[in-house]
Structure 1
């Protein structure tokens, strides 16, 4: 039988997981923050806490903010591409639908990386989880006016960089299949046709040999990179189309091992690929399947 403190934490754990993962983009870091939150909660004097949910969220968000600031400093030293960890399955015990409702797309998460840690936290709390400015001020120890200004800056930053248009999942899946068929089949003409002229490709290899550690811009450069890297891919890759968070994705398997997750952004018309997100870092693929 769970004691009262454990039961309260378990009740809110899925919310905390979803919130922190939206901020950090890493399952391992999210689990670490939840462990730190649990330790703080377990040692607290619960009789003086009027709102346990707000207390837990405040601890988790501020722990995540501290990690975001450290990660920002580290990425200033290592400027290679970074992508969040895609989630197919939710945290233990979570309902998949609830997780999807409280998550942002991989493409939007990449945009959020351009915000300051504070702007990102305010944006996620306000736009994804629906907290009002006063509630966010209480969680972050700021005034409502300051939070309102931060929220405005965050929305403006996201609006200026957010991919335009939201093609439906069926169209996105069809274009994903066209792209992969051309890329894996070596059909460079078909690959040129499916890519927008200003396509951008991000890959997060975390030092994995053969993976581009930079953002590649432009159709010709992307095609050259795909052509150069294709011979080094494992033979017999198989593809499975799934949904991760809020968007269709393709899982590439080498035998039983997950090799890559590919998520595409499309042009507003939905007929060409404007962005390619390839997650290949083995450490970021552990919670996808």
Structure 2
């Protein structure tokens, strides 16, 4: 719902404290869902103002997800992907809540209406508008987890080796690269669009003097294979390629140290 792991943890803690203080809850799941949703709505409203003055592209906070757990379904995995969380930024807070409750947790429109304190017709409208803004899924063929990991490994190898032809084969013609430095780390402040420009960008980054000293590895981030770069033992970048039809259609790089703090705390 929030796109920020640290914010999500704060919401869970706030909900727990309210749970401890409450002594009249008859249906715990419904009560907790409503409380957590409304806490998220409050934070999303204030976050929109902060993001309007953010330096450069804003990307969600990456989280290492080596194992998402047996209760996670495909729809839930898709909803937490960096690509989907970025799309959700197009939505108003109520639209975002309606979309997540419906898509990830299969709540009915009537249940969503009760959670958001609106009538059912309004809940349906919120979901319809959210679906229109997010758009229909671009994925026509979704490679398996193993296939996606191999593509990301080839992408990393081609970048490090300066294999321009290999990169061109992996990238879609309309690929877009975003970088989130937040004004605190070196990063392009506008998206880089098109295969030729993205290949040129990646080739330049691979030749940077800092690159040789970095330790690079493939890890699961927000349910997708991604690349983690460590410099002097500290997490410096997370690069998340988005794969459609076995081609990379987007490359999202998070470099803002504030955005990496949660993920850095997950790693030993």
Q: TM-score range by the shorter chain?
A: 0.7 to 0.9
Greater CA drift, 228-237 or 205-214: 228-237
Q: Is contact 2:54–2:182 with CA below 8 Å preserved after alignment?
A: no
Alignment partners' CA distance in 2, 1:265 and 1:43: 43
Pair 78,255 (structure 1): closer, same or farther in 2 beyond 3 Å: closer
Aligned counterpart, 2:21: 43
Query: Could you tell me which of 248, 251, 267 is aligned with 2:244?
Result: 267
1:158 Cα deviation from its structure 2 partner? 2.3
**Residue 144 (structure 2) pairs with residue 168 (structure 1):** yes
Alignment partners' CA distance in 2, 1:240 and 1:251: 5
Query: Could you tell me which of 181, 199, 221 is aligned with 1:244?
Result: 221
SS of 2:212's partner is: coil
SS of 1:155's partner is: helix
> What whole-Å deviation, never above 9, does each CA across 1:5-25 have from its counterpart, x for those lacking one?
xxxxxxxxxxxxxxxxxx111
Q: Gapped runs of 5+ residues in structure 1?
A: 1-22
Pair 69,98 (structure 1): closer, same or farther in 2 beyond 3 Å: farther
> What whole-Å deviation, never above 9, does each CA across 1:151-198 have from its counterpart, x for those lacking one?
122223223464553222222122212221122222333323322221
Aligned counterpart, 2:60: 84
Aligned counterpart, 2:4: 26
RMSD over aligned Cα atoms: 2.3
Pair 88,117 (structure 1): closer, same or farther in 2 beyond 3 Å: same
Alignment partners' CA distance in 1, 2:244 and 2:68: 28
**Residue 96 (structure 2) pairs with residue 120 (structure 1):** yes
**Residue 207 (structure 2) pairs with residue 235 (structure 1):** no
SS of 1:260's partner is: strand
Alignment partners' CA distance in 2, 1:161 and 1:133: 21
1:123 Cα deviation from its structure 2 partner? 0.7
1:259 Cα deviation from its structure 2 partner? 2.3
SS of 1:227's partner is: helix
Aligned counterpart, 1:203: 179
Question: TM-score, with normalisation over the residues of structure 1?
Answer: 0.80
Q: Is contact 1:235–1:254 with CA below 8 Å preserved after alignment?
A: no
Alignment partners' CA distance in 2, 1:162 and 1:137: 29
**Residue 64 (structure 2) pairs with residue 96 (structure 1):** no
Aligned counterpart, 1:278: 253
SS of 2:237's partner is: strand
SS of 2:173's partner is: strand
Q: Gapped runs of 5+ residues in structure 2?
A: none
**Residue 86 (structure 2) pairs with residue 110 (structure 1):** yes
Figure out how many residues of one structure are paired with residues of the other and give that number. 259
